[in-house]
């Protein structure tokens, strides 16, 4: 049996701020290439790792375009729901989403949590399970969303999950799950989405952990600038064979991602940081008016107007927030 896995397509009707091209046209060219790769490699099914759409109430016209594309091919598509596919990070809202409509109409088969699907071909039995994204999937100490049990008569167990599965620790404040945390799983292959950068396929204790990364590049970080979208081909006919296939329709990052705004914002953030340090380090002022202090420092430091205005804007937002908190305390 052969399977194609891809994830995080984030279908949307508007152009992300950081893209130079027509995002919708580019995305549908990629999707068509994905289906062509599947056809060329005689794939039996497609698996999607979640975040099919960028929002749960995506435009019906985009859903129609996707249905037309799916209809051109005869592949069954199995998927899990990502956090962008549901309302409030709650998979119980799926029946009110466009992804729920596609599932109900049979265009995409959503794998229900706890459900075990079985496929048999050439005396090989495959077990397929999935886990939608839900709030707390990566803070759950037991990591239940990632661990599955394999039935005794199954040759290969595949688990698809939309969660922040990583090969190494991330920065503090971000909930994530390490591969080493879920080695108790009985899945032979764990396919994950959500983490757009993806990671190189890992094999630990004869168990494979795979995330090819998002099919789209929405943010314009340096990592995304260098990363090229790809899909995964699984061949389970004689053991487990995993192949990465890069999309030819995906242009180099510098041709589709606009870095100018990021670099401009980085410069402004650096200047603002220097400005705040000036407030903390410059001598005493004969005033408690923060706006007056800003004016005095701006003259001393010869700062540009745009930096000063940004500082005043943020001060105003902080004052407004504090004011609301005071009102809440009073009430």
Q: Do 208 and 320 reside in the same domain of the chain?
A: no
Q: Do 90 and 206 reside in the same domain of the chain?
A: yes
Region of residue 287 (left: phi > 0; alpha: psi -120 to 50; beta: else): beta
Residue at a domain's end among 197, 232, 256:
256
The structure tokens listed for 144 are 């239940």
Residue 41 burial by CB count (10 A; 0-12/13-18/19+): exposed, middle or buried?
A: middle
Q: Do 45 and 115 reside in the same domain of the chain?
A: yes
Q: Do 150 and 10 reside in the same domain of the chain?
A: yes
Q: Do 227 and 315 reside in the same domain of the chain?
A: no
Q: Do 217 and 278 reside in the same domain of the chain?
A: no
Q: Do 231 and 294 reside in the same domain of the chain?
A: no
Domain range enclosing 196: 2-256
Residue at a domain's end among 216, 240, 256:
256
pLDDT tens track for 112-130:
999 999 999 889 999 999 9
Q: Do 279 and 162 reside in the same domain of the chain?
A: no
Residues 6+ apart with CB under 8 A from 257: 18, 19, 20, 217, 220, 224, 225
Q: Do 156 and 293 reside in the same domain of the chain?
A: no
pLDDT at 330 over 50: no
Q: Do 250 and 293 reside in the same domain of the chain?
A: no
CATH number at residue 171: 3.60.21.10
pLDDT for res 293: 60
Residue at a domain's end among 209, 238, 256:
256
pLDDT tens track for 17-76:
888 889 999 999 999 999 999 999 999 999 999 999 999 999 999 999 999 999 999 899
| pTM for the model | 0.79
The structure tokens listed for 81 are 């729901």
Q: Give the C-alpha distances (Å, rounded to integers) separating 193 from 60, 86, 277.
A: 24, 15, 40
Q: How many domains does the chain have?
A: 2
């Amino acid at each position: 049996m052969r399977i194609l896995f891809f994830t995080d397509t984030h279908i949307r009707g508007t152009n992300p701020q950081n893209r130079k091209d027509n995002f919708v046209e580019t995305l549908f060219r990629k999707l068509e290439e994905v289906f062509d790769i599947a056809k060329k490699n005689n794939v039996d099914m497609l698996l999607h790792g979640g975040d099919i759409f960028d929002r749960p109430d995506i435009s019906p016209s985009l859903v129609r375009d996707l249905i037309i594309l799916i209809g051109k091919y005869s592949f069954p598509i199995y998927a899990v729901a990502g956090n962008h596919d549901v309302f409030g990070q709650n998979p119980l809202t799926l029946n009110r989403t466009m992804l729920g409509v596609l599932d109900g109409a049979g265009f995409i088969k959503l794998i229900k949590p706890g459900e075990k699907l079985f496929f048999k071909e050439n005396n090989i039995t495959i077990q397929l399970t999935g886990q939608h994204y839900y709030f707390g999937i990566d803070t759950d100490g037991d990591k239940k969303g990632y661990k599955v049990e394999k039935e005794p008569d199954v040759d290969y167990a595949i688990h698809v999950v939309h969660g922040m599965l990583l090969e190494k620790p991330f920065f503090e404040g971000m909930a994530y799950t390490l591969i080493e945390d879920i080695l108790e799983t009985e899945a032979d292959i764990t396919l994950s989405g959500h983490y757009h950068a993806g990671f190189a396929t890992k094999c630990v204790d004869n168990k494979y952990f795979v995330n090819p990364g998002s099919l789209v590049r929405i943010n314009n970080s340096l990592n995304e600038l260098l990363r090229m979208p790809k899909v995964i081909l699984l061949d389970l006919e004689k053991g487990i064979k995993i192949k990465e296939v890069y999309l030819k329709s995906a242009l180099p990052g510098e041709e589709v991602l606009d870095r100018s705004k990021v670099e401009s914002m980085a410069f402004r953030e650096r200047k603002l940081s220097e400005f705040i340090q000036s407030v903390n380090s410059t001598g005493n002022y004969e005033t408690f008016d923060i706006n007056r202090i800003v004016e005095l420092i701006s003259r001393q430091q010869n700062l540009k107007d745009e930096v000063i205005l940004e500082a005043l804007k943020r001060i105003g937002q902080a004052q407004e927030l504090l004011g609301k908190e005071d009102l809440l305390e009073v009430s």
